Amino acid sequence: MCELDIPAVALFPKIDSSLKTEKADEALNPETLVLRAVREVKATCSELAVITDVALDPYTTHGHDGLLNADGSDVDNDRTVDVLQAMAVLQAGAGVDFVAPSDMMDGRVGAIRSALDHTGHADTGILAYSAKFASAYYGPFRDAVGSAQAAGTTLLDKSTYQLNPANRREALTEAMLDEEEAADVLMVKPAGPYLDIIREIREESELPIAAYQVSGEYAQIHAAAERGWLDLERCRDESLLAIKRAGADMILTYFAREMVEG
């Protein structure tokens, strides 16, 4: 990425299914895949900013972003936050620039900030998935990281902790709570279907705003272009311009390499 002049990369692990457990034990392995990858990237290209995901879905047999409660009916918020704190400290120790909690547990940003500060990682930033919606656009990514396979469906219901797509007020509330808990960057995910949310948060916060153009957004543009229905490059560029126009300072996109290579 150094030679491509891409400023940052976000890493997501796809681990062997044999390493997945109900309690996501592999997430706290000091030699787990993503930590090895961080060290390798930083050794090769130290100036590249590295962002790592803080969530348990790549590591759980059930595919959820957190630990389940006793009857398995929902995630256990507080137990999950304890694991996320330890996970973030391991990632900071490996040399990441930003940890990115994508789990949507309540209070996790403040808890992670406290854990980082108390373990000598005060300079590690938090890119918070502040407005992450229970979207239908995540399917290709879930297939890629194996959380869909673990759960047995790409339609895994995470609506008890991700945001209702109809509720813009909750999105703004969650973003402002993350700002109060000392997030360094606020993110909206997905990006394209939620341009109004990007704009609302932009108008309420002075923090940098990130937006994640997710796998389903990327896939649908490619699929339509393959059928000859859309011009790939023009639609790609227009989709990214719309996200930027809405107020995003940073865009996470699978089009990154194509954009810098022209």
Neighbouring residues of 59: CB distance < 8 A, sequence distance ≥ 6: 15, 19, 20, 21, 24, 25, 26, 27
H-helix or E-strand spanning residue 139: helix 139-145
Range list of β-strands (E), 55-212:
98-101, 125-132, 185-189, 209-212
Catalytic residue numbers, as ranges: 132, 189
Contact at 8 Å (CB) between 140 and 8? no
How many whole angstroms from its chain centre is CA 157? 17
Neighbouring residues of 13: CB distance < 8 A, sequence distance ≥ 6: 32, 33, 34, 37, 53, 58, 145
Q: What are phi and psi of 91, to 5 degrees?
A: -65, -40
Task: Judge residue 44's burial from the number of C-beta atoms within 10 Å of its C-beta, 0-12 exposed, 13-18 middle, 19 or more buried.
Answer: exposed
Other CB atoms within a 10 A radius of the CB of residue 229 amount to: 9
Residue 249 corresponds to which tokens in the numbers above?
């300072």
